[in-house]
C-alpha cells in the first residue's frame, strides 16, 4: 500500500530546530538544519553521507581532517574502510560539479586526509521549519531523469516513463509526483495496474477502488465520472499489460480534468496524441557511481554495518557490471550479502539468476525476483519478437528494426553504437526458460 499522504502533499508533522547554521561558498548556500544545498537558488541533490561530509569539512574552516576522523564523524562507532569514504567523497564532488581534484572544494591530501578549499561565509538565520517525515521516494543517481520528467510535465502535461523491468520507473514516477504535487490541490491519485486498484485521497482519508472488472462492466465509466473537474497528479503505473484501459483513462483525464497532469509507467509507448515518452536507462556503473552507491547502501542495511573492505567494493563493482546497473537486480543481490558474502553473490550472479530473488514481501510480485521482473517484460512480447530475442541471444544479427525497438523498450536488449546485444541477466533468464521447457517436455 502506497503512502499517499506524503505524495499528495498533505503536510506531515513538523518540528522546529534551535540550531541555525547557514554557510555560503561560491555560488552555493548550505543550510545545515534544513539539510539543504542550493546552487544559485536551485536545490542540489546530494546524498545524506555526502551532505554530512560537506558539513564536517566546512565546520573545520579549511583545516585538514584525517580520514579516520572524518569516518568517525559520519559513521560514529563503526569501523569504516577508506574505500567507502572515497565513494561518498566522489559523490560529493560530483554534486558540486567539480571533478577536477586540483580545483575541487573538497581536496584530498594523500596520506593526510581531506579539507575544504574555498572562502566560507557563515550566517545566523531564523530557525527553519523542518518536515519530520522524510520524502516518500528516495532515488539514487536519478536526479537528471527526475528533472527531465518534471520539465516534461510542466511543459507538456504528461510523461510516459519507459524502460525495462526493475530500472525504477515506479519510484521515479512517485518522486516526480512528489516534487510537483504542491501545485495541484487535489493531490495525487495512483492507478496501480498490477494490483488492479486505485488509491485516492479524500480529505485525510485513504480510499481503495477495485478495477479488476473494468474490462467487462461499467466501472470504468463510473471512475471517469469521478475524475471530472480535478486538478491533480495522476500516476498510471504498469500500463504495458492494459494499454487500452490506460489510454482510455488518459483521454478521460485530459477531457474532464484538463488542468491535471499524467505520469505513466510502461514498457511500451501508449500511443495517445501528444504523448511524451522518456526512456529510463539502468544506473551508470563505475567505481564511485550510483550503481555502486546503491549496492553498498543496501548491503549496509542488511549486514548492519557500513564497513567494507576494498576487496568487497571491488566485488560490488563487478556485481553491478554483471547486472548492467539494474536497480532491482542490485537491491536483490545486495540482500544476499549476509548469507553468501560479496564473493558468493558475485559467483552466483555469474552463473545463474536464482541469487536475484527474495525481495521485500511488501513489493509487487514482479519486484521480488529478477526472473519475475523479466517474465513480466517477456509476457508482453509478440511471438515474433520472442523469436527475435532468442535469435539475438544466440549471437545472430537481425534486420527487423521494429522488433529491436520493441525489445529495447522492454529492456530485453541494448543498443550501443550500431551493435545490439542481449544483457547477461536476460541471457540467464532465457537459458532458464529453455531448461524449464526441456524439463516439461522430457
Note whether 87 and 293 are within 8 A (CB): yes
Give the separation between CA 169 and CA 160, rounded to whole angstroms. Answer: 9
Q: Are 122 and 22 in contact (CB under 8 A)?
A: yes
CA–CA dist 74, 84 (Å, integer): 11
Around 413, how many Cα atoms within 13 Å sit in the side-chain half-sphere? 27
Share of the chain above pLDDT 90, in %: 13
Backbone conformation region of residue 182, classed left if phi is above 0, alpha if psi is from -120 to 50, else beta: alpha
Question: CA-CA distances (angstroms) from residue 219 to 207, 245, 252?
Answer: 16, 12, 14
Rounded to whole angstroms, the Cα distance separating 190 from 146 reads: 18
> pLDDT grade, residue 6 (50/70/90)?
very low
Output the pTM of the full model: 0.64
Count of other CB atoms within 10 angstroms of residue 97: 12
What is the DSSP code string of 91-135? Answer: HHHHHTT---TTT-SEEEETTTEEEE-S--EEEE-PPPEEESSPP
Residue bearing cell 549476509: 338
For the beta carbon of residue 5, count every other beta carbon within 10 angstroms. Answer: 16
Measured CA to CA, the distance from residue 435 to residue 169 in angstroms comes to 30
Q: Where do the CATH 1.10.10.10 domains begin and end in the chain?
A: 18-127
pLDDT of residue 261 exceeding 60? yes
- Asked if the model's pLDDT at residue 104 lies above 60, the reply is yes
pLDDT value of residue 355:
60
Looking at residue 196, its pLDDT comes to: 56
Distance separating alpha carbons of residues 165 and 187, to the nearest angstrom: 27
Looking at 3.40.50.12780, 1.10.3660.10, 3.40.50.300, 3.40.50.2300, the CATH number of the domain 143-279 comes to 3.40.50.300
Position 435 scores a pLDDT of 65
pLDDT tens, 35-80? 778 887 777 777 777 888 999 999 888 889 998 888 888 877 766 6
154 pLDDT band, cuts 50/70/90, is very high
Q: Which residue has the cell 544479427?
A: 397
Residue 348 has pLDDT above 80, yes or no: yes
What confidence tier does 271 reach under pLDDT thresholds 50, 70, 90?
very high
Confidence of residue 151 (pLDDT cuts 50, 70, 90): very high
Out of 3.30.465.10, 1.10.10.10, 3.40.50.720, 3.40.50.280, which CATH number does the structure's domain 18-127 have? Answer: 1.10.10.10
What DSSP character marks residue 283? P
- Whether 101 has a pLDDT exceeding 70, the answer reads no
Looking at the predicted structure, is the pLDDT value of residue 194 above 80?
A: no
**Burial, 113: exposed, middle or buried (Cβ in 10 Å; 0-12, 13-18, 19+)?**
middle
Of 50, 63, 51, 64, nearest to 21 by C-alpha is: 51
Cell numbers at 131, concatenated: 518536515
Nearest to 149 by CA among 160, 140, 138, 141: 160
What is the rounded average pLDDT for all residues in the chain? Answer: 76
Domain limits, CATH 3.40.50.300, in the chain: 143-279
Lowest mean pLDDT among 64-73, 275-284, 391-400: 391-400
Q: What is the pLDDT of residue 169?
A: 92
Residue 197: predicted pLDDT: 52
Query: Would you say 294 and 330 are in contact if contact means Cβ atoms under 8 Å apart?
Result: yes
Measuring CA to CA, which residue among 383, 384, 359 is closest to residue 369? 359
Amino acid at each position: 500500500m502506497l503512502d499517499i499522504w506524503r505524495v499528495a502533499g498533505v503536510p506531515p508533522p513538523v518540528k522546529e530546530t534551535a540550531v541555525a547554521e547557514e554557510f555560503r561558498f561560491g555560488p552555493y548556500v548550505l543550510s545545515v538544519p534544513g539539510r539543504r544545498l542550493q546552487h544559485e537558488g536551485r536545490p542540489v541533490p546530494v546524498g545524506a553521507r555526502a551532505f554530512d561530509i560537506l558539513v564536517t569539512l566546512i565546520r573545520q574552516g579549511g583545516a585538514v581532517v584525517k580520514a579516520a576522523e572524518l569516518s568517525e564523524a559520519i559513521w560514529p562507532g563503526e569501523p569504516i574502510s577508506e574505500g567507502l569514504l572515497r565513494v561518498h567523497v566522489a559523490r560529493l564532488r560530483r554534486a558540486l560539479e567539480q571533478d577536477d581534484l586540483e580545483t575541487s572544494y573538497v581536496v584530498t591530501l594523500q596520506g593526510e586526509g581531506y579539507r575544504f578549499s574555498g572562502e566560507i561565509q557563515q550566517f545566523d538565520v531564523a530557525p527553519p521549519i523542518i518536515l519530520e517525515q522524510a520524502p516518500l521516494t528516495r532515488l539514487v543517481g536519478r536526479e537528471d531523469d527526475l528533472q527531465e520528467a518534471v520539465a516534461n510535465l510542466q511543459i507538456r502535461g504528461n510523461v510516459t516513463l519507459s524502460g525495462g523491468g526493475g530500472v525504477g520507473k515506479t519510484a521515479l514516477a512517485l518522486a516526480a509526483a512528489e516534487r510537483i504535487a504542491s501545485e495541484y490541490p487535489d493531490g495525487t491519485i495512483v492507478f496501480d495496474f498490477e494490483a488492479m486498484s486505485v488509491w485516492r485521497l479524500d480529505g485525510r482519508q485513504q480510499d481503495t477502488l477495485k478495477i479488476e472488472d473494468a474490462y467487462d462492466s461499467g466501472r470504468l465509466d463510473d471512475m471517469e465520472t469521478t475524475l471530472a473537474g480535478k486538478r491533480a497528479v495522476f500516476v498510471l503505473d504498469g500500463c504495458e499489460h492494459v494499454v487500452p484501459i490506460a489510454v482510455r483513462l488518459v483521454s478521460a483525464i485530459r477531457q474532464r480534468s484538463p488542468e491535471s497532469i499524467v505520469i505513466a509507467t510502461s514498457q511500451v509507448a501508449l500511443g495517445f496524441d501528444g504523448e511524451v515518452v522518456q526512456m529510463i536507462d539502468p544506473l551508470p556503473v563505475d567505481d564511485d557511481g550510483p550503481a555502486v552507491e546503491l549496492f553498498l547502501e543496501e548491503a549496509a542495511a542488511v549486514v548492519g554495518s557500513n564497513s567494507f573492505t576494498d576487496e568487497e567494493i571491488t566485488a560490488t563493482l563487478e556485481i553491478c557490471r554483471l547486472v548492467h546497473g539494474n536497480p532491482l537486480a542490485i537491491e536483490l543481490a545486495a540482500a544476499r550479502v549476509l548469507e553468501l558474502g560479496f564473493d558468493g553473490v558475485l559467483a552466483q550472479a555469474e552463473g545463474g539468476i536464482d541469487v536475484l530473488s527474495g525481495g521485500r514481501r511488501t513489493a509487487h510480485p514482479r519486484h521480488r525476483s529478477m526472473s519475475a521482473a523479466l517474465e513480466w517484460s517477456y509476457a508482453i512480447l509478440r511471438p515474433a519478437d520472442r523469436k527475435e530475442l532468442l535469435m539475438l541471444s544466440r549471437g545472430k544479427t537481425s534486420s527487423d528494426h521494429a522488433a529491436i525497438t520493441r525489445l529495447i523498450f522492454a529492456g530485453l536488449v541494448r543498443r550501443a553504437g550500431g551493435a545490439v546485444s542481449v544483457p547477461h541477466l536476460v541471457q540467464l533468464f532465457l537459458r532458464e526458460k529453455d531448461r524449464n521447457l526441456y524439463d516439461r517436455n522430457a
